[in-house]
Amino acid sequence: EGDYDRKTYRLQDTALQLHDTQLVTSGRKTEADWWAEFLVSEGTLIWDRPMKIDGRMSITMRDVEPLIAGFRDPAKKESPLDKMLNVKNVQGELIAHTKDDHILLDPIFIDSRGLEVISRVALSPGSANGVLFAKLRGVSANVEIVDSKVKFKGLGGRHKVLQQVNMAALEH
C-alpha cells in the first residue's frame, strides 16, 4: 500500500524472490539454480532515483555459494574450502537503509545449521565496506571489507565485530 503520486510505499509482509539466479565472474560461475527469498516484515520504499528503502527483512537462501563467490577474487576458481564453507538452507535477518546511492545493511545476522554470521556492510557503486564475523563448525574468524577487498583480521573476534554492528536493532 502507498501513494502512487509520491512514489512512496509502506512495505509489510512483502517478499522479493530470486529464482534460477547465477553469479558469473571471469574465473568462475555459480550453479544456475540458486534461489533466495527476502521477506520485508516492515519498511518503506520510495521508488525514485536513487531508490530509497528502509526495512527489516528475513532471509532464506538455498546456500551461501553466491556470497562466497562474491567476496572472493573474481579471477580465482572455486576451491575445496569454498565447497566446505557452503552451508545449505540458510536463514537470517537484516536491516537495510539507503541514503543517496549507498545501501547500509546493519545488522546482518544468520544463525542457521551451525553457521553464525554477524555483519555490517555498506554498499556503494563499485565498492563494499564493512566487517564480518563468521563461525562454522566451531571455527570462527573475523574479516574487514575495505573497497570490496576482504582482509582477514584473525580467528575469533566476535566481540570486536559486535562493537561495530547494531545488533540491538533486531530486538525491536
Q: How far is 36 from 16, CA to CA, in rounded Å?
A: 8
For the entire predicted model, the pTM comes to 0.79
pLDDT number for residue 73: 64
Q: Which residues have a Cβ under 8 Å from the Cβ of 91 and sit 6 or more positions away?
A: 58, 59, 60, 61, 110, 111, 112
pLDDT number for residue 72: 66
Instruction: Render pLDDT for 44-84 as a digit per residue (tens, 0 to 9).
Output: 877 777 778 888 999 999 988 777 766 666 666 677 767 77
Percent of all residues in the chain with a pLDDT value above 90, rounded to a whole number: 38
Instruction: Render pLDDT for 112-152 as a digit per residue (tens, 0 to 9).
Output: 888 899 999 999 888 889 999 999 888 999 999 999 888 99
Split at pLDDT 50, 70, 90, the class of 172 is: confident
- 3-12, 31-40, 107-116, 149-158: least confident range: 3-12
pLDDT number for residue 156: 93
DSSP the chain: -EETTTTEEEESSEEEEEEEE--B-SS-B--TTEEEEEEEEEEEEE-SSS-EEEEEEEEEEEESHHHHHHHS-TTSPP-HHHHHH--EEEEEEEEEEEETTEEEEEEEEEEETTEEEEEEEEEETTEEEEEEEEEETTEEEEEEEETTEEEEEEE--HHHHHTTS-GGGGG-
Q: Is the pLDDT of residue 164 over 70?
A: yes
Cell reading at 101? 546511492
Please report, for residues 65, 113, 115, 135, 159, the alpha-carbon distance to residue 138 in angstroms, rounded to integers and kept in the order given: 20, 12, 9, 6, 16
End-to-end CA distance of the chain: 23
Average pLDDT in the chain: 85
Q: Rounded mean pLDDT of 97-119?
A: 90
Task: Give the residue extent of every domain in the chain.
Answer: 2-171
